[in-house]
Structure 1
């Protein structure tokens, strides 16, 4: 039997309505899934943000803790710097007091203690700069000092400056813990010396040439022996016997008695009251002395290596006695025979001789080609008396004025 038209129409309406509901349900279901996915993504982002925040918080805490530690260290360093500054100021005050006391002691020593010679001289005064270095080779004190001296006119407008060295007592040699120390530098022992005069610089080529042209006394002197030619650089390539002949001719010319310094006189004059490895302090720099600056001493720094001698007084500084070029430039002959150590050494600073069969003589001060340790105040070296090297010169002592 066929459908009644009204029923068919109603069923079609219901079917259409059911389809609409289904379509709406499907759409809602799809939107729900999308919302779930977005919610999940949001949760993941929130988790990431939370993790990043936690990491940032931890980093901030770490940085804050580090900052507090650094601030504490900075505060401690500032306190130490302030203490060091106060100590330096105190040391400078004490040093100035010592210098003034030493200067007073130097000036009150009457010159009549020296033996009188046949020729009169005029005692003068000169100023010079003294530099003290710290352990890293940096200047920590510069001062202007004064010393007394007299001049010898050698002829041809050439002069020799002789600086007054006050008498005193010092500890000769080096302590066992000094860097670069050799066994022949001991044992340390006190030595008491009378005042004397010592040449301000090593003997120059100009001074040598004038004296070498004077009449021979015991041996011939080559008027131009040096390897590095310049009138104001130290004479070198002279042997010990040449230096003795120079002193003999100089004495005859001036009427004053000249000789090579004893080893004790040389070290006393070099130290000038210091007890450090160099009269500069605990180290040395080739900006103030002529040696192989490619090497360092202690905590010092490298510097230029000139590979030749420099004019005397080139660095325009001196020790507190007013002497220059004691560390480096040329080795300097001393009057003494060589001894392996200071056992039984004279306590009065006199020349320490052996029998004439010993041809070895003492050298002091180091040279332009030496490592810095070889330029120390206590460093000892020797050579045969008849040998003349390109780094060997000398300076002279006078006891009669």
Structure 2
């Protein structure tokens, strides 16, 4: 018995000793591992400094030319370091560090085995060699603002065209800005030529429209804007009376959608889709200006068809299309003032009366002759992500996705209008994709104050503007035909770095755009 106790105690002590030893070894290993990680990190940080880059780079002018370049010698006081240009951005960790390792090994090997006197420095400064060491994504990472102070109108146009057509052009930023990182007094800044659409001066005159379309009957027509390559389809919307708003029986009904009233609208033409980037850039290129027309003048001109000069937008801050692409996608981020100015320009170019739709016209057109929550069959509760049961069951998307770009199918960005089917009037994207400006000021009690039967109503008092339709981030509850919303002007400009803040572009809202309507001439007999 005693021997067994002794043996058990010996065995227990042996195990404790073993685990104490193992714990000690693990602790030492962890400390060594942490030390290696810290040392590796600090080494990595050091070899990302400008000083470490200069160790291997024996080009006699590399440091001096870098310090003279706009990346260092600028009024902002911001210095662009070597790795910011010559390595992929750090937000792509693997790509950044693998490229760093490859370049580092190559530089060290060249430093140890080659004589810099044998290098042809002139050829290494040529574009063909430089593009190998300047990732384009790094240029775009730094230059969120495409339009630096003092840029010419031609420069603005070229930047916009490049942003819209980067893949097709197969060019890098350095293709035009070879002297940006290392100053070269003999370098001639490259220019992009043959830019169609945006800049009419360089487009083939044979491709530009010379005449606008004459309307002789109340039917759909294709508008073409003289002096540009832009055209778009207008749909004839017959006049009629409908019940505007919703009752509390409609799912997700809100108080500002009531009371329901009978509204009569006169016939009008409405654009099949929201104003596209192709159309908006035609406007931008045609009116490019640094001047600022006071907003009150623009709104006063809405009733004046004899407007002489139209002042166009100043450059946007950053990428106006958010990198999603232009072309037929809806133009976004412009202010209500900019949308009104576009309508004035379009009216002047075509000789017709183009404007933003009234809120009543918008809802009448969106419904397409229906009185249901959507212009297609379906219950908002089935499509919405709101509600207790959505914790267990996904919302239905099968029918709504055929007609609406919204939060559940948008991939968090705008989409081209051909991705959805039209409503009964032939209009696309009336619901979803981007919110659309209306001509009315917003008032929550506007319906109650107007009476039960009204014709062509327009609210002119208020501080914010009505927006309708919801956008690509919206829940199905907010893309109902009756759903109302309004601009949040100050909040949408909150992070605009410019002083004074832009009157043309919003910095904090992406899903906002507009479509135009045209007033028919009384002589065509619209009904």
Do these two structures clear the TM 0.5 threshold for a shared fold by scoring above it?
Answer: yes
**Residues of 2 paired with 1:123 and 1:234: CA distance?**
29
> Residue 239 of structure 1: CA displacement?
1.0
Q: Given the alignment, which residue of 310, 313, 320 partners 1:225?
A: 320
How do residues 284-323 of structure 1 correspond to structure 2 at under 5 angstroms? Answer: 285-293=400-408, 304-315=409-420, 317-323=421-427
1:149 aligns with 2:214: no
For 1:104, the equivalent position in structure 2 comes to none
> Residue 222 of structure 1: CA displacement?
4.3
SS at match of 1:214: helix
**Residues of 1 paired with 2:336 and 2:425: CA distance?**
26
Query: Deviation digits for residues 284-328 of structure 1, max 9, x if unmatched?
Result: 5224321012xxxxxxxxxx342111112222x211111111111
What TM-score comes out, normalization by structure 2 length?
Answer: 0.45
Query: Deviation digits for residues 191-225 of structure 1, max 9, x if unmatched?
Result: 01110001110010101110122236255254873
Instruction: Sort the Cα spacing of 1:385 and 1:150 in 2 relative to 1 into closer, same or farther, 3 A.
Output: farther
Q: Given the alignment, which residue of 449, 470, 482 partners 1:378?
A: 482
How do residues 72-83 of structure 1 correspond to structure 2 at under 5 angstroms? Answer: none
Q: Please identify the structure whose Cα radius of gyration is greater.
A: 1
RMSD: 2.3
Q: Given the alignment, which residue of 268, 272, 278 partners 1:200?
A: 272
Instruction: Sort the Cα spacing of 1:222 and 1:273 in 2 relative to 1 into closer, same or farther, 3 A.
Output: farther
For 1:258, the equivalent position in structure 2 comes to 354
Q: Given the alignment, which residue of 381, 394, 397 partners 2:514?
A: 394
For 1:366, the equivalent position in structure 2 comes to 470
1:349 aligns with 2:440: no
Paired residues in the alignment total: 248
CA contact (8 A) 1:226 1:235 kept: yes
Instruction: Sort the Cα spacing of 1:169 and 1:230 in 2 relative to 1 into closer, same or farther, 3 A.
Output: same
In structure 1, list runs of 5 or more residues that go unmatched: 1-117, 125-146, 294-303
How do residues 101-250 of structure 1 correspond to structure 2 at under 5 angstroms? Answer: 121=214, 148-154=219-225, 155-215=227-287, 217-218=310-311, 220=313, 222=315, 225-227=320-322, 228-250=324-346
Query: Deviation digits for residues 234-260 of structure 1, max 9, x if unmatched?
Result: 001011011001001001100001110
In structure 2, list runs of 5 or more residues that go unmatched: 1-210, 288-308, 380-398, 493-505, 522-527
Of Structure 1 and Structure 2, the greater strand share is in: 1
**Residues of 2 paired with 1:119 and 1:159: CA distance?**
10
Which structure carries more relative contact order (alpha carbon 8 Å, separation 6+)? 1
**Residues of 1 paired with 2:373 and 2:252: CA distance?**
9
> Residue 176 of structure 1: CA displacement?
1.2
SS at match of 2:219: strand
**Residues of 2 paired with 1:149 and 1:199: CA distance?**
10
> Residue 281 of structure 1: CA displacement?
2.2
CA contact (8 A) 1:214 1:249 kept: no
CA contact (8 A) 1:286 1:305 kept: no
Query: Deviation digits for residues 335-389 of structure 1, max 9, x if unmatched?
Result: 10001121123711232110xxx33000000100110111010000001457432
Query: Deviation digits for residues 8-66 of structure 1, max 9, x if unmatched?
Result: xxxxxxxxxxxxxxxxxxxxxxxxxxxxxxxxxxxxxxxxxxxxxxxxxxxxxxxxxxx
SS at match of 1:163: strand
